[in-house]
Structure formats: structure tokens, C-alpha cells
Structure 1
Amino acid sequence: MARVRLEHVTKRYDDQGEIVTAVDDMNLDIDHGEFICFVGPSGCGKSTTMETIAGLTIPTEGEVHIGDREVTNLPPKDRGIAMVFQNIALFPHMDVYDNISFGLRLRDYPQDEIDRRVERAADIVQLEGMLDRMPDEMSGGQRQRVAIARAIVREPDVFLMDEPLANLDAKLKVHMRTELQRLHKELDTTIIYVTHDQEEAMTLSDRIAVLNSGSLQQIDPPLTCYNEPDNLFVAGFIGSPSMNFISGTVGESAIETPNFSLAFDPATVEGLGVGDEVTIGIRPEDIYPGEFRNEIRDPSSLISARVDILEPMGDEIFAYMLLAEGETSMDQKQTTNNQLLMSIEPDSEIQEEEDIEVAIDRRNVHIFDSATGDALVHKLEPVGSDTGVTGREAESDD
């Protein structure tokens, strides 16, 4: 069984006298047959973690287990793994058959076994009839399938894939994502996949491991990371476009922000009290134009805003809104506290520079501790009627 475990794995480098921690006390337990994606910003440690599993990097501390063996100090060839890299790196002077079978021929496999494995791999990745082609006669997607077939013939316990789709165009990426899902079902083996593209992670994986600054932030199924992020980093990284964040202070019956109040009972969250600083997290799809407020099961008060920029995306429009007057010029400072991003229907008649009212679906509001960044709650409890208008319109009525 190709279970993969990392136990307190740490990797430090000496960078011209400065000690840099690339991976910090990493603990992971990946079951046989799982598809796990490592995601995070550049430099977060995801590739170093992958290289540690592969044996390309030896950890400073900790242990690596694959199956029932500790492999921390074993070379890559003895770990039962196969890798697919961002750089496809096919031999340009060899045809597809020779590229796929190269590793087997180096290990002196019998010719009939090589033929069997190459034919099976070519069938899995749909390269039938192409085994005599040269790499320069193939598309990018076909060459990537050759690289995957070259890994399949090894019949490894674990596949390690380091951003294998990064160099493909958008349409081909979508196609290859489907191919990888089909491949995973066909092979029923463990796949560990590194990507900075959260869309790939959300669509491909059984679980996502979110990394930042060498530390594991959260490892959960994609929708859990999306709907119940453990902290501000995961909440901001998972989801495109990103979650809105607004700083606020807990009051007796509401969270007060510089531009609106959000009804909230602090007694519903253990350890939270009046005067505490929190951060409100709101997904763009959980903000609605005011005319739809009555269709929201637990709406906030109406919030006045001015539409700044509209971005039509085909199936939706992203509306960037400003909550405070006088912030529309490019030379004036804008902060997260006076901006909101809302996702609206493509047939919406909302226009740029228009003053509108919006409402928030309180059922999907997230509250984070501003000091630690930890999540406190992912759904606000109903508090009864929460009507009225806050923001620019309320100020104009005074």
C-alpha cells in the first residue's frame, strides 16, 4: 500500500551564512490512492516538500515513510516513486516508444515486458498509433502525455507531479486536468501534485495541503478549505477572486466597521468579547444587490456603496465597490476596509460610478481573530431583524 507519511520533517538551507527554513516541522499522512495537491505562493515550500518525498532533498530533521518503509535516506530509485516535471524534458532524437521505455531499458527489463508496459501506458494516456512519432511532431498536450506514460511504465507506488501543466495554454490545461482525473481512477495509485494554481487543486484533488512560509496551514477536502478555512491565509488564498476582508470591532450586538455594522451576538463565540478586534471575511458571491435582499434567508442591513470598476467575465460580472466617499481617484489611498468585491449576474444593469445598496448573506460570513488570524466562526447565528441602511446613504440622512 502506497501510504506516504512525513513525520516532523524540517529542511533548512545555509544561504550565505543565513539559515533559511524551507520546510518547518511538516507532518503529513497521505493514504493509499489519494490525490493530494500541495498549493501555496512561490517560496512556500511545496516543491521542497515534494523533493523530500522523492529523495532529491534529504531533510535536516524528521522522517519520510512510503508504504511500510522508512525511506528518509534512500536514493530516489529505491523509493518506488516516479516523477513528472513542469519541464517535460523528452529526448528529441528518440521516438515516443523509446522515450517511454528509456528507463526500463536502462534497468535491463526483458523486451517482452518493456513492450507490455509501453503498450499499457500508451493505452492509458491515449497515445495509440503515435509510438513512432518524434517529439517535435507532437502537440504540447501529447508531449505531456508521453512524459506521464514514461512515469506509468515504472509502475510506481507513488506518482509525484511538480506543476506538470504550467507550460500549457488555458484550453489544454482544462483538457489535461480531465486526463489526470481519468488517469487517477485508472491506476488507483497515490498521486502527490504540486501547483500554484488553486483551480487545478480544487478540481483534481481529494485533499488540498495549503502551505505558507514552509508551514502546513490546512489539509482538507477542497470544499472544506473553501467553506471552512482554518485561518486568514487559507481564506485569502483559496478562492478566485479572493475573499473580502474588513477589520471590525466587536460591539454588544454587532461588529462595527468604519463603514457599516453587521449584526452579531458575541456570546455565540466562546472567548470573544466586546471590544475585541476581528476580521470579517465575505466571499464575492455572498454579496447581493439590495433589490435581492428579501431573497436572502439571513440578510444583513443594506450597505451603501459606489461601483468603481466592472469586470465582465462571461458567466458573471465582478463589481469592485467603494464604501467611503472621496476614494475614487487613483492618487488617493484605498484600503481593504473601504472596498468590496461582489459577483453579480451577467445581465445586471449596474453601471460604473453608480451609487447602489448591497446586502450580505450572514449565513456565509466568516469571522477571524485579527491578532492570530485563526478562524472563529464560519456562519453567523441568526439574530432576528437586521434592517436599515448603513454607509453613505445613512450619513446623508443625518
Structure 2
Amino acid sequence: MARVKLEHVTKRYEDVTAVDDMNLDIRDGEFVCLVGPSGCGKSTTMETIAGLTLPTEGEVYIGDREVTRLPPKDRGIAMVFQNIALFPHMNVKDNISFGLRLRKYDSEEIDRRVQRASDIVQLEGMLERMPDEMSGGQRQRVAIARAIVRNPDVFLMDEPLANLDAKLRVHMRTELQRLHKELETTIIYVTHDQAEAMTMSDRIAVIDSGELQQIDPPLVCYNEPANLFVAGFIGSPSMNFTPGRVTDGGFTSESYDIEFDPASLGLSPGDSVTLGVRPEDVYPAEQRASVSDPSMTIEARTDVIEPMGDEIFVYVVTTDEMEMDFEAAEAGQLLMSVSPDSTIDVDQDIEVVLDRSKVHLFDDETGQAICHGLSPNAQTGTTTETETEAGDDD
């Protein structure tokens, strides 16, 4: 096991900055997911840790060693890639033990490590099989076992489940959590799938355009996003956003108004802000008695309904927006999650309320969070671990 630390790491490719002044401190034995959209720099960050890419600036530490210029073989790491890349002419045992045989381990030690790794990833009775005789999930477990036998200080996993079908991905997520619990080893996992990150990791590092946006436990990223990007990226379906401005009585937009005391949040009338609320915090008005801190009612009309089995997603458009063009109507749209026994129908005039205790405000100019909750006990701009680590010179 080992701590992994990046200090002011930057990677440039001519006029493109793939990673920009990255400060990241991953604790010994921690499972951290690097998440973000395609091209955000998460794989480049992983490759820099692995030694496959040299940073333009900054230092990389694994354990107590600076490894910035060390080759991958000397860093105490093992990697599992999206492309499983097993040798098709070798059976499972030979694939798992290939690296050990290259390093001239004796046969007794090889057998011991292969047996332990195969037990951990549940490959009992499959060691003599060829790769083409196995399912995708079984082949992925072989690739993980090949990494385990090296007894690395750090596991680096770059979207290892991306090529599996949806059901198998869910199963392998559980397997990886069991693996982490069994090995108690530092795991850094790259994915663009925020559902994987939410379910598996101790902390999530959200990256956009090469910059670290927030690193915190999954529920902190979900409930207290540091900025607009994190709020929109973490959570499926995404958070609702409505641009507007501050008035003496709260928030106003072309779609609806929400009442609160701006002075309690350090806001002034005329400030441009964006209001965010998650679909599960939008309710039909008849349920307001069960809402922690309901807003005033908002008149709306249902637009699209998506039954999901355990819930129904209802897209509603505020009544004032219905006669506008498509883009304007979309800006006034709210996604609401209701119970599966709801009788709401398409093109129905309804009233909705927001739970003000779960409403977020973001600064339009910087995108940074102003507060999480508009109740009297609202939590203003959270100091996240991103900010703490950026100032940590330990």
C-alpha cells in the first residue's frame, strides 16, 4: 500500500494543456475515482502516475519516493486497462503468471501467487481454460488477477469495465469493491461513468479541462457540489438549472420565483445567480405537507413522461414558457421524479414546489457554489477537500 501525491502537475502537448496544475493527495489504502467527460485529462493524470507520460511540470510521489522520472517498472504499480489484452495462445494460468516468469520467480512462488490471486477474483477451476473459452467478465477477472500477483503498492485501473454489458458492469463493480476490501491496497480508478464512481469510491476527484474541480466523498460531491460543473456532472439524471437574479425577496427568473433572505447569504439585489435543484427535490404541490421547506407553488404543464419502473421522470415546463420557442421553453423546464403509482399525465396543468432546504445557488460569473439550501440553516460555500489539499504542503 502507498500514498500517491501529485504536486502542481501540468502536462502540455504543444498548444494543448491536458492537465493543468493538478494537486492531488490520495491516501494509503484509499479507493479514488477520477471522473469527468471525455478529454478532461483523467487518463493523462493516470498515465502520469504510472510513468507512461512525463509531466511538463510538477512532481509525482508514490509512498515516500519521488517517482516523477522513474520508469513504470520501478514505481510499484500494476495497471488494468479497458483493453483486456490477454495472450490468446496462453491459458489463464500462464496469462496470470506471465509477468512473474519474466522476472524469474521460482515455480513454487509463482504457483502460490497465482492460486491466491485466482481465489480472490473467483477463477477456481478455470486456470487451464483459454481466453476464447471465457466470458467478458471472466477475462476481465484474469486481467485483474495478473495485476494482483505483482503485489503492487498501487492499482491503476483505466476504465476496465467500459467494454462489458450493463448487467456485467454492475456485477464487476461489486467484485472490485470486494477486491479492495480484501487487498486493502490503494486503487486509482479512471471512469467517465459517474455511477461507477458514486458506488465504488471512498472519494471522487472530478476533473474538467485538465483542472481538478472537487475531491470529496461521493455524497459530498452530490449534496454539496463545489461548482456548476460538479453539480451538473454528478447525479443521474442531472440537476435542474435555472438562470436568474437576486431580488429583495429572493430569487427571480423568467420561469418562477423562490423566496428567501438574500442578506443571510451575503447576496445583494441584482446579483446574477443560477439556481440548481435535483429532480427528487421537485414535488407536486399536493405533497407540500411532506416537503421539509416548500417554496411557493409554481404553475407548470407536463411535457414528457418517462416511466423507469421504481420511479417516473416527469419533465414539466412553467406555464409562462409554453408559448415561447423551443430554446426558451427548455430553459424553463424542470425534471421531477415522482413515485411509480403517480397518475400525472402528459399535457396536464399542474402545480409544483421545490424543497428550499435542498436548493443550490451558484455564482454566474465564477460558477462557484454560493450555498446548499435556502433555509435559515443553509450551508454557504463549502470548503471542500480540494481547497484543503491545494493548500496542504505536507
Query: Is TM more than 0.5 here?
Result: yes
Q: Distance in 1 between matches of 2:327 and 2:263?
A: 35
The correspondence of residues 149-164 of structure 1 with structure 2, limited to 5 A, is 149-164=145-160
Q: Distance in 2 between matches of 1:148 and 1:6?
A: 25
How many residues are aligned here?
A: 377
Q: 1:238 aligns with which of 223, 234, 254?
A: 234
Q: Which runs of 5+ in 1 are unaligned?
A: 384-398
Check the 8 A contact 1:244/1:336 in 2, yes or no.
Answer: no
Q: Distance in 1 between matches of 2:273 and 2:131?
A: 55
Name the counterpart of 2:10. 10
Q: 2:341 aligns with which of 305, 330, 347?
A: 347
Check the 8 A contact 2:360/2:374 in 1, yes or no.
Answer: yes
Counterpart AA for 2:183: L
Q: Distance in 2 between matches of 1:332 and 1:248?
A: 19
Q: Secondary structure at the match of 2:168?
A: helix
Percent identical among aligned pairs is 73
Name the counterpart of 1:146. 142
The correspondence of residues 212-223 of structure 1 with structure 2, limited to 5 A, is 212-223=208-219
Q: Distance in 1 between matches of 2:263 and 2:326?
A: 38
Does the C-alpha gap of structure 1 residues 326 and 288 become closer, same or farther in structure 2, counting only changes over 3 Å? closer
Q: Distance in 2 between matches of 1:296 and 1:382?
A: 16
Q: Distance in 1 between matches of 2:282 and 2:197?
A: 25
What is the deviation of 1:267?
1.1
Name the counterpart of 1:23. 19
Name the counterpart of 2:108. 112
Counterpart AA for 1:292: Q
Q: Distance in 2 between matches of 1:336 and 1:233?
A: 19
**Residue 46, structure 1, aligned to residue 75, structure 2:** no
What is the deviation of 1:90?
0.4
Q: Distance in 2 between matches of 1:84 and 1:98?
A: 17
Name the counterpart of 1:282. 277
What is the deviation of 1:195?
0.2
Q: Deviations over 1:311-346 (max 9, x none)?
A: 0111001101111456479x7334553100000001
Check the 8 A contact 1:6/1:29 in 2, yes or no.
Answer: yes
- Runs (4+) off by over 4 Å: none
Q: Which runs of 5+ in 2 are unaligned?
A: 378-394
Q: Secondary structure at the match of 1:199?
A: helix
Counterpart AA for 1:10: T
Check the 8 A contact 2:301/2:317 in 1, yes or no.
Answer: yes
Check the 8 A contact 1:38/1:46 in 2, yes or no.
Answer: yes
Q: Secondary structure at the match of 1:249?
A: strand
What is the RMSD of the two structures over their aligned residues, measured on CA atoms?
Answer: 1.3
**Residue 188, structure 1, aligned to residue 184, structure 2:** yes
Q: Distance in 2 between matches of 1:332 and 1:31?
A: 48
Counterpart AA for 1:59: P
Q: Secondary structure at the match of 2:177?
A: helix
What is the deviation of 1:268?
1.1
Q: TM-score scaled by structure 2? A: 0.94
Counterpart AA for 2:39: G
Check the 8 A contact 1:308/1:328 in 2, yes or no.
Answer: no
**Residue 320, structure 1, aligned to residue 320, structure 2:** no
**Residue 363, structure 1, aligned to residue 318, structure 2:** no
Q: Distance in 2 between matches of 1:328 and 1:41?
A: 34
Q: Distance in 2 between matches of 1:43 and 1:256?
A: 36
**Residue 83, structure 1, aligned to residue 76, structure 2:** no
Q: Distance in 2 between matches of 1:325 and 1:251?
A: 20
Check the 8 A contact 1:246/1:336 in 2, yes or no.
Answer: no
Q: TM-score scaled by structure 1? A: 0.93
Name the counterpart of 2:68. 72
